[in-house]
Structure 1
Amino acid sequence: MGSVTKPTDGGGSINLPTIKLDMTLAELYKQASSSPEKLGFVFCGVNSGLDLNPDFPRNTKFLYQDSPFNTVPRHDLSKDNAGLQRSLAIKYLSLIPQRDAFISGAGCPVILFNLGQSPEQVEHDRHEAEATISVLDPSQRPELVFCAGPSNIPVEEKGIDKLAYKVVLDGLEKYKLTHDLETHWFLNSKAGLALSGLPTPRVQIVEVEGFSGPAEECCDVCRTVNAEQDIDFIPARKCSGPRGQWLDAQANRVIDAIADRKVSFVLKNQQTFGGAGTWVITTEEQKEALLDDMKREDGPLRKLLAQITVENHHLSPGSLVISDIVKDPIGDYGLTFLVKESGEAEFLAASEQMIDGNNAWLGSTINYDNQERLHDKFKDVIERTAKWVASHGYFGPVGVDVLETATPGETATHSGEVTAFHIVDLNVRTSGSLSLPLLRGHFVGRGLNCASSFSITVKATRREFMEKWKQDFEAGRMFIVSWYEDESVEESVADVVIGAEGEAELEELMGRVRESSEEVTF
């Protein structure tokens, strides 16, 4: 049987089944590459607006525009905003990496970063992660290696030859890696997809020229303002130096491009995480609201432009992509597959996406009975994507978001290709739904032909949540793949996986779980 933390409230025991994965990430990487090198996994997220803690600084070279970066006012992106900082750290340093650690398997140490360095915090971080993986078959439990931050990864002590990572961290530049950081950043960029030759909607790439100079070389206002800020900032109208002139010119380039574009269209940041940085514009009112947002001194555009420097401008982090909207889609799929060094692809799953009203990813569902049919349908898209990714030196898991249209050619592609399948996002990394294909045997063996993985926030401890759904946990139709209890606010964030006999039953169970929880967005 699986394991669970012992009750401290007098409650009865919960007898969990042992979870056995069909395949682990460690085994998939061995299939992808013939190299005998020992890998270490780094699965955390990253933020470019705020340090996650003193040992995990924000990215300043490889810029990511997640939801807080785009929406939180500049003055709130500060280490003094302890609530926001802790919320991001929980999601990026525990929730996301636990989810991938659950499927990583043995043989490749998983690097986890502590939220803080007090003995109590270090112990709590370890307890949460170890409780999550305790339900796994002992032969598939990963070695969890905790450290303070990216600069403190014990690669030599653990005999790690190279690190495989989920997203690009500035702090990884000094280590030996499975793939180049700048190349990986390009492969995950919106412009990278547009230039790939893959079937993606027709786009216009709005380039930003040059970069802002250092604040200390600009004017008194910039020197004063940036001495008080955690994130770089160029004050509109008040800056009398070259930084302000450059920012105004580049902001106007973007704003003019948006103003000239007829509705309907989609605007995307160059590099995003968790579905943030996407604006779907279908009315003139939405377009005007977007333009107003982009013109604001504290809006996402000016905030982004201020982060472009001599160190990162060659990556084009400030470029924005304006694309056609896919007309009348009849299906929204998340394809997951393994890319081998040879460029071959091994299909893993085709799941359906759950997106909220702001285009943020919430979770995925899978019907195991449909996998062979969907593999055949998307085989060409998968194989072409794998070859393109592998041509840039990447091997490992890849996720592709595809919209299907009823009639080929109704939506113009960037390459002019006539197709019914339009790639709208490319995630060259582990995806949030990767656990679903690796758990097929667990669910199908119990007569559960459908499954879903999604994130929740609950006003409960792990123990209380499991007690509430005890029958489903003991039957193996529900289990936790990531959990973090924030005792300071008596709230937990989690990733759960549930299975059901069919789609109707899955939808009903998902609805009941969601009624007692809140959504988690990134």
Structure 2
Amino acid sequence: MDIYNGYSHIDIHPQILRETVYTQDEDVGLPDNSTESLQRFRNMALTYKTVKFLLGLGPVDVYLYHPVNVPAQIERILSPLPVNQRPQVHYIDLNKPDVQEQLRQVTHGKKLWYYRPKSYMLQQDTLVSPDFAYAINDKRFLLHPNIPTPHLEMASLQSEDLSTSVFNTRSLPFVVKLRRCSGSQGTWIVTSEDERQIMLAAMKQYRSRRVSEVQISDFIHSTQPHYSVNFFIGAAGPSNGSTTVTFLGATEQIFSKTGRWAGGVIDFQSQQSIKEQLMGTINAVARTMIGSYVGWVGIDVIFDERRNRTVVVDLNARLTGGFVLCLLSGHFMKERGLPFAQAQSFHYQGKAADVYTLLAPFVQTGQVVVAAVTETLPNNCTTQLIFGGQNRDELASMKDIIREGLDRCPDSFNSYNISSGLEW
């Protein structure tokens, strides 16, 4: 498995150049042009943005780049898993000049599956055609008549004066999305005239980059949770005569004040009822890909209360930010009696290993799982944590405790009385 993203506007490393065939839309201003910001982005792309998927892959071969990913640190992340559930990690050495040859050796005789299609894969034996994967991860694919969506259309950025275009004349509210982005990047929820002006400024920048078109859709009002639904499309084989669609789980999306994806919450006890409610929508989406696609799929769904229906507002035929959370019901609910869990990123000053010291009581009991941690800049770390709780209030308390704990210096860390509850 190749679980790396491909970037179109930046070289991640002298041996990992920008993608020119399967290009992606990248958000305006990410990253900015400062040396520090570019270096942080490159470090994140090679480490954190990839490692956070490892806990959910299962016993498959996967490659990581070395020395940016340290084997001892990767082993520590995988340690909560039984040995037979861990991926087999192979390291590609960026200090050697033959990266492509190393890749050929690792993938020789094996089918390649991937997070994003990249041009080098045209020479590989891939499980899914890179051309098809590229097509179904385009917002245009949501125009498929069998996928239940809000009203949406593609709008040109190149043929119109933006001041007189649909971007400036459409009545509020509405949503604008770039065709190929992830993590809520390239999404503008336009509910006011001030937000319209921010969106228009971004569209001008994208037009200067020769982005041809974007998606415009209705804004759906809903008081119910906005779910990220994860499922797996399997292939027909000796033990099953037809393709299988397996529900993995549904998480409630968490967004920042600026509308960016910031994590998810899962209620393990409600998964069966959610599955029963959404399986029709899942199957409708799966039927558009069956026969050409095998792998993980994430769809973002909203309950359109005005029309009493469920609509798909995004389709990601790849690993998603919340899929690992869906696979940890055994760890949290069955083994520790914690029916709720949350995934969220945190930043702290220190070294990568410090997160295990600062949060030792919770890591040791399994209430906190470190899904990824990396030193993105010297003494400046980002970590993806998954933490459990008895209820939503306890999740909120845990989040505050984690933030407080990560703000402490490891040398001043005091012991924690587990029997005292959620207090330091």
Q: Please indicate, yes or no, whether the TM-score normalized by the shorter chain is above 0.5.
A: yes
> SS of the counterpart of 1:197?
coil
Judged with a 3 Å threshold, the aligned counterparts in structure 2 of structure 1 residues 130 and 287 are, in CA distance, closer, same or farther, namely: same
Kindly indicate whether the alpha-carbon contact (under 8 Å) linking 2:138 and 2:179 is maintained by their aligned counterparts in 1.
yes
Report whether the alignment pairs 1:186 with 2:75.
no
Aligned amino acid, residue 88 of structure 2: E
Q: 2 CA distance for matches of 1:188 and 1:207?
A: 19
Judged with a 3 Å threshold, the aligned counterparts in structure 2 of structure 1 residues 344 and 427 are, in CA distance, closer, same or farther, namely: same
Kindly indicate whether the alpha-carbon contact (under 8 Å) linking 1:338 and 1:398 is maintained by their aligned counterparts in 2.
yes
Judged with a 3 Å threshold, the aligned counterparts in structure 2 of structure 1 residues 278 and 390 are, in CA distance, closer, same or farther, namely: same
Judged with a 3 Å threshold, the aligned counterparts in structure 2 of structure 1 residues 453 and 152 are, in CA distance, closer, same or farther, namely: farther
What's the offset of the Cα at 1:250?
A: 3.5
What's the offset of the Cα at 1:60?
A: 2.1
Kindly indicate whether the alpha-carbon contact (under 8 Å) linking 2:355 and 2:406 is maintained by their aligned counterparts in 1.
no
Match of 1:437 among 318, 326, 333: 326
> SS of the counterpart of 1:173?
helix
Report whether the alignment pairs 1:177 with 2:126.
yes
User: Where do residues 7-26 of structure 1 align in structure 2 (5 Å cutoff)?
Assistant: none
Aligned amino acid, residue 143 of structure 2: A
What's the offset of the Cα at 1:514?
A: 3.9
Match of 1:130 among 33, 58, 75: 75
Report whether the alignment pairs 1:478 with 2:362.
no
> SS of the counterpart of 1:56?
coil
Equivalent residue number for residue 147 of structure 2: 198
Equivalent residue number for residue 15 of structure 2: 55
> SS of the counterpart of 1:484?
strand
Judged with a 3 Å threshold, the aligned counterparts in structure 2 of structure 1 residues 344 and 356 are, in CA distance, closer, same or farther, namely: same
Report whether the alignment pairs 1:287 with 2:232.
no
Equivalent residue number for residue 83 of structure 1: 36
Judged with a 3 Å threshold, the aligned counterparts in structure 2 of structure 1 residues 84 and 126 are, in CA distance, closer, same or farther, namely: farther
Judged with a 3 Å threshold, the aligned counterparts in structure 2 of structure 1 residues 199 and 517 are, in CA distance, closer, same or farther, namely: farther
Q: 1 CA distance for matches of 2:43 and 2:5?
A: 10
Aligned amino acid, residue 128 of structure 2: H
> SS of the counterpart of 1:154?
helix
Equivalent residue number for residue 6 of structure 2: 46
Equivalent residue number for residue 338 of structure 1: 232
Judged with a 3 Å threshold, the aligned counterparts in structure 2 of structure 1 residues 153 and 383 are, in CA distance, closer, same or farther, namely: farther
Kindly indicate whether the alpha-carbon contact (under 8 Å) linking 1:202 and 1:324 is maintained by their aligned counterparts in 2.
yes
What's the offset of the Cα at 1:304?
A: 4.2
What's the offset of the Cα at 1:338?
A: 1.0
Aligned amino acid, residue 263 of structure 1: L
Aligned amino acid, residue 141 of structure 1: R
Equivalent residue number for residue 270 of structure 1: 179
Report whether the alignment pairs 1:95 with 2:55.
no
Aligned amino acid, residue 120 of structure 2: G
Kindly indicate whether the alpha-carbon contact (under 8 Å) linking 1:343 and 1:386 is maintained by their aligned counterparts in 2.
no
User: Where do residues 302-321 of structure 1 align in structure 2 (5 Å cutoff)?
Assistant: 302-305=208-211, 318-321=212-215
Judged with a 3 Å threshold, the aligned counterparts in structure 2 of structure 1 residues 201 and 343 are, in CA distance, closer, same or farther, namely: farther
Equivalent residue number for residue 345 of structure 2: 455
Counting matched residue pairs gives 396
Judged with a 3 Å threshold, the aligned counterparts in structure 2 of structure 1 residues 384 and 124 are, in CA distance, closer, same or farther, namely: closer
Judged with a 3 Å threshold, the aligned counterparts in structure 2 of structure 1 residues 59 and 322 are, in CA distance, closer, same or farther, namely: same
Q: 1 CA distance for matches of 2:90 and 2:305?
A: 48
What's the offset of the Cα at 1:54?
A: 0.8
Kindly indicate whether the alpha-carbon contact (under 8 Å) linking 1:71 and 1:300 is maintained by their aligned counterparts in 2.
no
Aligned amino acid, residue 438 of structure 1: L
Report whether the alignment pairs 1:301 with 2:259.
no
Q: 1 CA distance for matches of 2:387 and 2:219?
A: 32
> SS of the counterpart of 1:331?
coil
Report whether the alignment pairs 1:64 with 2:60.
no
Report whether the alignment pairs 1:427 with 2:308.
no
**Bigger mean CA deviation after superposition, 450-459 or 345-354:** 450-459
Match of 2:393 among 497, 500, 504: 504
Report whether the alignment pairs 1:142 with 2:87.
yes
Q: 2 CA distance for matches of 1:348 and 1:166?
A: 18
Q: Would you identify which runs of 4 or more consecutive aligned residues in structure 1 move more than 6 Å?
A: none
Kindly indicate whether the alpha-carbon contact (under 8 Å) linking 2:6 and 2:19 is maintained by their aligned counterparts in 1.
yes
Equivalent residue number for residue 350 of structure 1: 250
What's the offset of the Cα at 1:354?
A: 0.7
Kindly indicate whether the alpha-carbon contact (under 8 Å) linking 1:206 and 1:254 is maintained by their aligned counterparts in 2.
no
Q: 2 CA distance for matches of 1:254 and 1:346?
A: 46
Q: 2 CA distance for matches of 1:266 and 1:255?
A: 18
What's the offset of the Cα at 1:160?
A: 4.0
Deviations 1:156-183 (A, max 9, x none): 4554421100112233222111111121
Aligned amino acid, residue 396 of structure 1: G
Kindly indicate whether the alpha-carbon contact (under 8 Å) linking 1:150 and 1:172 is maintained by their aligned counterparts in 2.
no
Judged with a 3 Å threshold, the aligned counterparts in structure 2 of structure 1 residues 151 and 84 are, in CA distance, closer, same or farther, namely: farther
Judged with a 3 Å threshold, the aligned counterparts in structure 2 of structure 1 residues 451 and 105 are, in CA distance, closer, same or farther, namely: same
Q: 2 CA distance for matches of 1:335 and 1:185?
A: 20
What's the offset of the Cα at 1:134?
A: 3.3
Q: Larger Cα Rg: Structure 1 or Structure 2?
A: 1
Q: 1 CA distance for matches of 2:328 and 2:15?
A: 35
Kindly indicate whether the alpha-carbon contact (under 8 Å) linking 2:146 and 2:284 is maintained by their aligned counterparts in 1.
no
Equivalent residue number for residue 165 of structure 1: 114
Unaligned segments of structure 2, at least 5 residues: 236-241, 408-424
Among all aligned residue pairs of Structure 1 and Structure 2, give the percentage whose two residues are the same amino acid.
Answer: 21
Judged with a 3 Å threshold, the aligned counterparts in structure 2 of structure 1 residues 160 and 367 are, in CA distance, closer, same or farther, namely: farther
TM-score with structure 1 setting the length:
0.71
Aligned amino acid, residue 53 of structure 1: H
Judged with a 3 Å threshold, the aligned counterparts in structure 2 of structure 1 residues 125 and 431 are, in CA distance, closer, same or farther, namely: same
Aligned amino acid, residue 3 of structure 2: F
Aligned amino acid, residue 167 of structure 2: I
Report whether the alignment pairs 1:403 with 2:302.
yes
What's the offset of the Cα at 1:399?
A: 0.7
Kindly indicate whether the alpha-carbon contact (under 8 Å) linking 1:251 and 1:301 is maintained by their aligned counterparts in 2.
no
Q: 2 CA distance for matches of 1:131 and 1:86?
A: 25
Equivalent residue number for residue 414 of structure 2: none
Unaligned segments of structure 1, at least 5 residues: 1-40, 115-121, 209-248, 306-317, 410-418
What's the offset of the Cα at 1:254?
A: 9.5
Deviations 1:113-142 (A, max 9, x none): 24xxxxxxx276334323322343222332
